Amino acid sequence: MNRLRDAEHDSGAVSLEVESLKVAFGDKEIIHGVSFSLAAGERLGIIGGSGSGKTITALAIAGLLPTEASVSGSVRMNGRELIGLSDRDLSPIRGERIAMVFQEPKTALSPFRKLGKQMTAALALHYRLSRAERRDAAMRLARQVGLKDPERMVRAYPHEVSGGQRQRAAIAAAVSASPGLLLADEPTSALDVTVQRGILELFTEITESNSCSLICITHDIAVVNEVADRVLVFADGGIVEQGTVQEILERPQHTITQSLIAAAGGVA
């Protein structure tokens, strides 16, 4: 297990500097020159209505845009420019340092593989693990993400557990190789309200214990209030407002922000 511990020590939250980021599909520009920064260890919320460009911005940072997209501007991770790097140079940087969690863990997890295998897939890719090492790692991850009865969980298939348990397993898979940045896109939208809070608390715990930065995309300002220090408000492919969560909740300037707060039933 020492190699796994080394991997953990090798970790560290990453910082981002995004400047004049533009994304276009053909001649249609979708993201119109977005600039923001993320300090190492910071938790940033990105809110905005449907189609405002939140997901495309996150995918551009993670280098996961479809090939037909064209990107310009600058994304520096820990000071290193990522835009313009070849796929070969980019994939180890982005692949190992950034992990994503999506809305529906059913799509992130294969229905045919046991959760323990899936939680440790990224680790197994980087390290030659014995069966016992991999099992230990799965149990450790299951405990870390608060999966009760980890023995059963690591042997279960996704359809045998609840939606909240699946999302915990997906989070375990995402953080297993100690990323420096976790990008979560609507991570609680598919879950019952009762399990949402537990998952949001898990994000806070995990970013602290793993020394990891967080970008959480959501249309729900109550989610931002739970997990983020600072928030960007997106509309029409650009940032219309940004500030600390408290500033945005107490003094929203833009009508979009005001309507997102109203939609959440006021300040959570």
Ligand X SMILES: Nc1ncnc2c1ncn2[C@@H]1O[C@H](COP(=O)(O)OP(=O)(O)OP(=O)(O)O)[C@@H](O)[C@H]1O
188 binds ligand X (CB under 6 A): no
Q: Which is nearer to ligand X, 13 or 227 (CB)?
A: 227
Query: CB of 100: closest distance to ligand X in angstroms?
Result: 13
DSSP string, 205-266: HHHHHTT-EEEEEES-HHHHHHH-SEEEEEETTEEEEEEEHHHHHHS--SHHHHHHHHHTTS
Q: In the complex, what is the shortest distance from the CB of residue 94 to ligand X, in angstroms, rounded to a whole number?
A: 18
State the greatest distance between any 2 C-alpha atoms of the chain, in Å, as a whole number: 56
> Does residue 52 belong to the site contacting ligand X (CB under 6 A)?
yes
Interface map 57-96 toward ligand X (x if CB under 6 A): ---------x------------------------------
Stretch that binds ligand X, among 54-62, 81-89, 122-130, 256-264 (CB under 6 A): 54-62
State both tokens at 92. 């180890």
Q: How many CA atoms lie within 13 A of 72 on its CB side?
A: 7
Least distance CB 170 / ligand X (angstroms): 18
> Which of 4, 13, 30, 75 lies at the binding interface for ligand X (CB under 6 A)?
30
Q: How do strand 230-235 and strand 238-244 relate by DSSP bridges? A: antiparallel
Task: Please report whether residue 51 would count as binding ligand X according to CB under 6 A.
Answer: yes
Residue whose beta carbon is closest to ligand X:
55
Indicate whether 55 belongs to the interface with ligand X (CB under 6 A): yes
d(CA 161, CA 168): 11
Closest-CA residue to 228 (of 243, 238, 211, 250): 243
By the rule CB under 6 A, 50 interacts with ligand X: yes
